[in-house]
């Protein structure tokens, strides 16, 4: 099934597409269903149960915050990050929810929002069940949703529905088919994707929407370079981007003599975005929140260190990246809970490499090669966030993904596009590795780096932490 690239590059808030954006959309969908069934005014109680990875690391990922916002009717792309804390404080103190702003129902967060740790539901590890009852205790509505990565959600009743391919002019399911279309039509990958995208919106709307996302990415970098303090969650992780930014400015003359100084700036751009993400700020899923810094960092690299920057090339970059993301979404996964961080940072690295190769003049074959190199050298990457927070190692991991993407693009342009391993084969390998990977390495914080720091030590730091955190400011 062809998906609009605007679903891959959606506007949301941090810190996680699967644990924040997806659950918010699911909770909102549940409330909208109550409204459609005309039972919203009968609701006297709501219970939310989180399973699998949502239960294990949901608190650190802001899942509880997201669910509450969704139940009130807020959407990730619309809610103002500056208002979130006020909304949540009102819910906690009043022990009630304003469903779509239409009616108030009792809701005790501690009793009615349950983390079912150690329990899973079929189909996907990121599952949530929502139940609404009336004053008699009778069910008004019940639904199960799965948050399958990148902010995408699937209702339980839809998991066995046959996917209907969108009536796009150039459908493709594999990299081989995509390259075949390019040869047949003489179009580039971004040209193919653009024609398909016109099924949903006009070319002008596509351009406007993609530039809007680029401006949000720029805003995330700017805010990340300005905001001091510590990240929320109690690990006392200091926001590093402002100091790195000042240091790079002060040493600009010295650094310009070093041909690799672009790496320092690229790392800064990625850190700035992901520190904003970790602080519940406004970002663009690209294609997930946990990997949201890679594409903005590479685009800022293009803007500041290459002759290839233009708004047209930003659009071409994102169209190319979105076209490649279709392949990962269809044939593997972009969910850390399903395949580990290879499905997040690995995929984002692949997309950024493809986009960069395209605007640097690469042929479709070279672009596909760049994407293959980007994912090949992230295979097996685990998702093991310390304390369930999208901070360690997630923030630095985005810097590595951005640098790898630049290297992959440049490496692909040194050849003619022929290579031993195809993108399809690399994606298939990623999927198989994800299936074989133990659940403790898939966003549960039960293995890997997440267990290097002893749980007692983490808890002690969280309990003793009196350092104020930096949250989005108006």
Please report, rounded to a whole number, the percentage of residues in the chain having pLDDT higher than 70: 94
Q: Are 92 and 108 in contact (CB under 8 A)?
A: no
Using left for φ > 0, alpha for ψ between -120 and 50, and beta otherwise, residue 223 falls in alpha
Give the integer Cα–Cα distance in Å for 41 and 27: 17
pLDDT in tens, 39-69: 999 999 999 999 999 999 998 899 999 999 9
pLDDT in tens, 230-243: 999 888 899 999 99
The pLDDT assigned to 230 comes to 95
Exposed/middle/buried for residue 466 (C-beta within 10 Å: 0-12, 13-18, 19+): exposed
Closest residue by Cα to residue 439 from 26, 62, 117: 117
N-to-C CA span, the chain: 40
pLDDT in tens, 141-182: 999 999 999 999 999 998 877 655 568 999 999 999 999 999
Distances (CA, A) of 96 to 87, 219, 369, 430: 11, 34, 53, 44
Average pLDDT, rounded, for the chain: 93
Residue 473 scores a pLDDT above 80 = no
Asked if residue 287 has a cis previous peptide bond (ω within 30° of 0), the answer is: yes
In the numeric block, which tokens belong to residue 454? 């002893």
Instruction: Please name the residue ranges forming H helices in 227-363.
Output: 241-250, 252-255, 261-278, 294-305, 311-331, 336-339, 345-359
Fold of 12-158: 60s Ribosomal Protein L30; Chain: A; (3.30.1330)
* Helix/strand/coil for 170: coil
pLDDT in tens, 68-84: 999 999 999 999 999 99
In the numeric block, which tokens belong to residue 124? 């996907």
Q: Given the structure tokens 């520190």, which residue do they identify? A: 275
Kindly list the domain boundaries of the chain, sorted by start residue.
12-158, 175-459
Residue 466 scores a pLDDT above 80 = no
Please list, residue by residue across 204-233, b when 16 or more beta carbons sit within 10 angstroms of its beta carbon and e when fewer do. eebbebbeebbebbbbbbebbbebeebbbb
The pLDDT assigned to 241 comes to 98
The pLDDT assigned to 358 comes to 98
């Amino acid at each position: 099934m062809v998906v609009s690239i605007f679903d891959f590059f959606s506007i949301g808030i941090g810190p996680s597409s699967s644990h924040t954006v997806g659950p918010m959309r699911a909770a909102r969908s549940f409330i909208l269903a109550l409204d459609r069934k005309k039972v919203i005014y009968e609701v006297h109680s709501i219970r939310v149960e989180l399973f699998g990875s949502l239960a294990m690391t949901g608190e650190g990922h802001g899942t509880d915050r997201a669910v509450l916002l969704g139940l009130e009717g807020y959407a990730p792309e619309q809610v103002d990050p500056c208002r979130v804390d006020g909304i949540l404080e009102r819910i906690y103190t009043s022990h009630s929810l304003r469903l779509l702003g239409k009616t108030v129902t009792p809701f005790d967060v501690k009793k009615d929002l349950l983390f079912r740790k150690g329990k899973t539901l079929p189909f996907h590890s990121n599952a949530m069940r929502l139940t609404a009852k009336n004053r008699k205790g009778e069910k008004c509505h019940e639904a199960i949703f799965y948050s399958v990565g990148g902010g995408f959600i699937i209702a339980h009743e839809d998991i066995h529905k046959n996917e209907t391919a969108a009536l796009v002019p150039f459908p493709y399911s594999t990299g081989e088919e995509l390259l075949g279309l390019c040869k047949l039509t003489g179009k580039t990958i971004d040209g193919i994707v653009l024609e398909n995208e016109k099924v949903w919106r006009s070319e002008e709307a596509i351009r406007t929407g993609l530039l809007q996302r680029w401006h949000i990415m720029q805003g995330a970098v700017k805010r990340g370079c300005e905001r001091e303090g510590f990240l929320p969650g109690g690990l006392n992780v200091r926001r590093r981007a402002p100091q790195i930014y000042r240091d790079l400015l002060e040493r600009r003359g010295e650094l310009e003599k070093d041909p690799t100084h672009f790496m320092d700036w690229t790392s800064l751009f990625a850190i700035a975005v992901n520190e904003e993400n970790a602080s519940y700020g406004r970002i663009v899923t690209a294609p997930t929140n946990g990997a949201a810094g890679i594409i903005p960092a590479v685009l800022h690299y293009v803007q500041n260190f290459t002759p290839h920057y233009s708004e047209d090339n930003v659009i071409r970059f994102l169209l190319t990246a979105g076209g490649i993301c279709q392949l990962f979404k269809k044939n593997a996964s972009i969910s850390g809970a399903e395949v580990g961080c290879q499905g997040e940072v690995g995929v984002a690295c692949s997309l950024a490499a493809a986009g960069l190769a395209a605007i640097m003049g690469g042929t479709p074959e070279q672009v596909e090669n760049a994407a293959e190199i980007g994912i090949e050298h992230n295979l097996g990457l685990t998702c093991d966030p310390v304390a369930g927070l999208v901070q360690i190692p997630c923030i630095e991991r985005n810097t590595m993904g951005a640098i790898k993407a630049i290297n992959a693009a440049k490496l692909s342009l040194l050849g003619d596009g022929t290579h031993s391993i195809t993108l399809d084969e690399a994606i298939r390998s990623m999927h198989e590795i994800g299936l074989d990977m133990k659940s403790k390495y898939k966003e549960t914080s039960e293995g890997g780096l997440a267990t290097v720091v002893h749980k007692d030590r983490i808890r002690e730091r969280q309990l003793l932490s009196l350092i104020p955190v930096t949250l989005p400011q108006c």
